[in-house]
Amino acid sequence: MNIITKTDALAAFCIEAQKSPFVTVDTEFHRETTYWPHLCLIQVAHDTDAAIIDPMADGIDLEPFFGLLSDPGTLKVFHAARQDIEIFVKLTGEVPVSIFDTQMAASVCGYGDSVAYDKLVAAITGDTIDKSSRFTDWRRRPLSDKQLTYALADVTHLRDVYLTLEEQLQKNGRHHWLEADVDQLNEISTYLVAPEDAWKRLKVRLNRGIELAALKELAAWREAKAQNDDVPRGRILKDDALIELAMQRPLSDQQFDRLRAVPKGFGRSPAGREVITILNEVNQRGKSELPKVERHKPGPSPKGAIGDLLRVLLKAVADKHGVAPRIIASSDDLNQLVLEDEADIPALKGWRREIFGEKALALKEGKLALAATPKGVREIEIRSSDN
């Protein structure tokens, strides 16, 4: 087994890897007690060799590997790439060049939505991956042969998976189905959470501008603190506590202690004092300084007949193309589509619009009907009669 712990050995391996049209890449990392993922292993394979790179080895410089990641002539193949790429963005400040994600490709080739690596390997190669080392503490040294074998399997099987998926994409002409998703992987903003945008990940509906203002400020404060201290967000305050603070906006120790989701005594802590300062500032804002809260748009209920018909259409289109419905449109997409013909959703863009979005709009406009048949749902185009 090729385990690289020296910079010169890494440089030699990367030179050979750059001669291949593609390399498969995976990482092992630790994140349970930190905000940022801490890199523990890098696994790489090309068409004639595979290696485990130990980034924790004394004196090793990962620059040759980073050079490989930035080489446009060598395709970098990942499975569920986002977390791996986030690590490299943190270390280099750049997104790897020329990316292929087998999980994304599998989704448009009929293997299901967000298919797990071991299931995809079994479906394509027939091989079974031993997952018993999955929850290893990859920071500990030395690693056992069993652990290293498990880690290396994440990239050796990936070569066959990639070649099969690439062949299927060429055969079914669905390369362009991946373009929007790959474009998102190529955006550095995908991996960097700006504190001022942190509130967007909180799934809550607020009714007042002052509550939304407080939530934005508190979420930005927590995100910046988590990043600076390198601790998980929940170690500072959990989501439900942040939302409760935004809605109740306590300004005294006693008011803090009456809250359900906020830990007792938090208002007397240094972090609690920072929160009070934030809430005081929000409370002093004039009405014109507060953000506007989005109101429900008038229109039919997403849970009504139109929504039901769109879901039937989506299932029929997904079955026709052999993919999971969620690949084409999410539940949120359908809900927005019920309310708005020009909704800014993936289902009304690119290939998704071609195979589903246009039909969905036609269905809403009464230009398309659905009929149940023994072979499934059939689409019937309705032409208006000339008078």
Here the CATH number for the domain that contains residue 274 is 1.10.150.80
Identify whether residues 116 and 258 lie together within a single domain: no
Strands 3-4 and 75-78: unpaired
Residue 387 has pLDDT above 50, yes or no: no
For the full predicted model, state whether its pTM sits above 0.95: no
The per-residue pLDDT for range 43-54, each reduced to its tens digit, is 999 999 999 999
Identify whether residues 185 and 285 lie together within a single domain: no
CB 155 within 8 A of CB 43: yes
Identify whether residues 182 and 202 lie together within a single domain: no
For 234, residues 6+ apart whose C-beta sits below 8 A from its C-beta are: none
Within-domain flag for 294? no
Quickly list DSSP for 150-202: HHHHHHHHHHHHHHHHHHHHHHHT-GGGGHHHHHHHH-GGGT---GGGGGGGS
* 242/5 Cα distance (integer angstroms): 44
Within-domain flag for 184? yes
Average pLDDT over residues 148-166: 96
For 332, residues 6+ apart whose C-beta sits below 8 A from its C-beta are: 345
CATH number of the domain to which 331 belongs: 1.10.150
**Domain boundary at 289, 315, 336, which?**
289
Within-domain flag for 231? yes
Identify whether residues 161 and 237 lie together within a single domain: no
* pLDDT tier, 40 (very low <50, low <70, confident <90, very high otherwise): very high
Strands 22-30 and 38-45: antiparallel
Strands 99-101 and 38-45: unpaired
What's the mean pLDDT when you consider all of the chain?
Answer: 93
Q: How buried is residue 143: exposed, middle or buried, by Cβ count under 10 Å (0-12/13-18/19+)? A: buried
Within-domain flag for 274? yes
Identify whether residues 214 and 343 lie together within a single domain: no
Token pair, residue 43, equals: 């696994």
Residue 321 has pLDDT above 80, yes or no: yes
Average pLDDT over residues 158-182: 95
* 41/2 Cα distance (integer angstroms): 13
Residue 239 has pLDDT above 80, yes or no: yes
Average pLDDT over residues 259-279: 94
Within-domain flag for 142? yes
**Domain boundary at 155, 171, 190, which?**
190
Within-domain flag for 299? no
Helix (H, G, I), strand (E, B) or coil at 111: coil
Identify whether residues 214 and 332 lie together within a single domain: no
Bond into 64 cis (ω within 30): no
* 107/104 Cα distance (integer angstroms): 5
**Domain boundary at 165, 190, 215, which?**
190
Within-domain flag for 387? no
Within-domain flag for 298? no
Average pLDDT over residues 112-131: 93
Identify whether residues 324 and 277 lie together within a single domain: no
Residue 99 has pLDDT above 70, yes or no: yes
Identify whether residues 25 and 100 lie together within a single domain: yes
Number of domains within the chain:
3
Identify whether residues 161 and 310 lie together within a single domain: no
Give residue 338's domain range: 305-381
Residue 178 has pLDDT above 80, yes or no: yes
CATH number of the domain to which 169 belongs: 3.30.420.10
CB 102 within 8 A of CB 162: yes
Identify whether residues 221 and 243 lie together within a single domain: yes
- Of 387, 365, 369, 367, residue with least CA distance to 378: 369
Token pair, residue 157, equals: 């099987």
Among residues of the chain, what percentage have pLDDT more than 90?
A: 86
Identify whether residues 129 and 178 lie together within a single domain: yes
Identify whether residues 131 and 204 lie together within a single domain: no
* pLDDT tier, 385 (very low <50, low <70, confident <90, very high otherwise): low
- Give the pLDDT score at 299: 61
